[in-house]
Structure formats: C-alpha cells, structure tokens
C-alpha cells in the first residue's frame, strides 16, 4: 500500500542528480525549541536562581513583616484573608518562580528553584536521568530544576538548608497560601515559647 506521492512524482525525484546519495538531515533526538511563553518562564526562573542571595535577604524581611501583621490576620480571621493573599502570592511567585501553589513552599531551602517544576515533582534532589548538559530528561529544553537549585543554594547564606530532607507533599494543602500558613505556624510557635518561658 503506497503512502507517498504518485509513481510519476517518485520517478521524477529519483531522476534528480545525486538523489540517491543525498539524505535530508532529520535528527530524531533533536528537541524542538521551547514555546516563547515557556522560554520566558525559564528566563525568569534562571534570573531568580542567579539572584538567590538577594531574594533570600528580601524574603527574610518580608516574612518578618508578614509576621508582624499576625494580630491583624488573626483579628480578621486567617480563613477570610486566605483568598486575597493567595491571589497575590500566586501572581508574584508564579511570575518569579513559576510557582505551582503547593502550599508548602521550600524556595528558601532550594536555592530559589521551585522543585514542583520538576516533571516528577521530586522534593529531595534530582533523578538519575539528568542530561549531560544539565537539562531535564523529560523536558530536554528545560534546565534541571535541581541542578539550578544547587547552583542557587551556593549563593545563599543559608544555602546548606538544601541538605535538609523534605517531607512528602501534602496534597490537601495544594492551592493554599504558604505565606499565611508559615506565618500562622511561626506565630503559634512564638506564643507557645512565651507561655512556656512564663511558667
């Protein structure tokens, strides 16, 4: 059963000079260039890794400022402020880190490279399929998230936090604000310590 052109077309092609010798180079292993939107996303993510130290400095002060607002969050109700804060967090972290809103952000422990961008969503280091050029085995056009995480961690003051084993992802927290959760946990821990010291 023929799937190509007509017999006349085949005969014409075969009659061309050197048709039997020339072959069209079609490397099957070559990956297509990433879509423009994805390429922009990679560029911003790589910028964040390169500036991990500065972002670490900013994040510490931002976390402290959000913690200072704990009385306000508590008065309004964490449940009530979840939606607007989550919206802002999604926009900011989505642009900077291609955040997946897992609700358990570990950027400060992974060199400002979000591990949820790994196609396998590995939380404790790379898989065994990292390519020789440092790219992902699943997405050949994408730098391995964990290769970049290590690079970013070497730029950070608390970079050795990357050596800490992360807990498995709690899927029930997906889509929630990590900012508010961390703030509430820090405030509860602080209040507990104060009560313990007072007794």
The pLDDT tens digits for 16-42 are: 444 444 333 333 344 455 566 667 768
Query: How confident is the model at residue 36, as a pLDDT?
Result: 65
Query: What is the chain's Cα-based Rg?
Result: 25
pLDDT score at 17: 45
Q: Cα–Cα distance between 44 and 107 in angstroms, integer?
A: 15
Residue-wise pLDDT for 168-177, tens only, equals 999 999 999 9
Give Cα separations from 184 to 13, 71, 79, 117, 190 (angstroms).
Answer: 73, 10, 11, 26, 10
Query: Tell me, what's the pLDDT at 33?
Result: 55
The pTM score is 0.75
2, 20, 108 from 13: Cα distances, Å: 16, 9, 61
114 touches 98 (CB < 8 A):
yes
pLDDT tens digits for the chain (199 residues)?
444 444 444 444 444 444 444 333 333 344 455 566 667 768 999 999 999 999 999 999 999 999 999 999 999 999 999 999 999 999 999 999 999 999 999 999 999 999 999 999 999 999 999 999 999 999 999 999 999 999 999 999 999 999 999 999 999 999 999 999 999 999 999 988 888 888 7
């Amino acid at each position: 059963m023929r799937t190509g052109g007509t017999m006349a077309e085949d005969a014409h092609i075969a009659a061309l000079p050197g048709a039997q010798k020339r072959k069209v180079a079609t490397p099957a292993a070559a990956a297509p260039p990433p879509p423009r939107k994805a390429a922009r996303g990679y560029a911003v993510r790589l910028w964040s890794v390169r500036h991990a130290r500065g972002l670490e400095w900013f994040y510490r002060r931002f976390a402290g400022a959000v913690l200072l607002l704990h009385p306000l969050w508590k008065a309004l109700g964490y449940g009530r402020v979840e939606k607007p804060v989550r919206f802002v967090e999604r926009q900011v972290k989505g642009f900077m880190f291609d955040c997946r809103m897992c609700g358990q952000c570990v950027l400060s422990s992974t060199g400002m490279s979000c591990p949820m961008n790994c196609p396998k969503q590995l939380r404790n280091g790379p898989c065994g399929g990292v390519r020789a050029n440092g790219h992902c085995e699943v997405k050949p056009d994408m730098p391995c998230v964990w290769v970049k995480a290590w690079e970013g961690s070497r730029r950070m003051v608390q970079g050795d936090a990357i050596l800490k084993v992360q807990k498995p992802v709690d899927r029930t927290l997906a889509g929630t604000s990590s900012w508010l959760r961390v703030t509430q946990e820090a405030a509860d821990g602080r209040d507990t310590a104060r009560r313990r010291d007072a007794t």
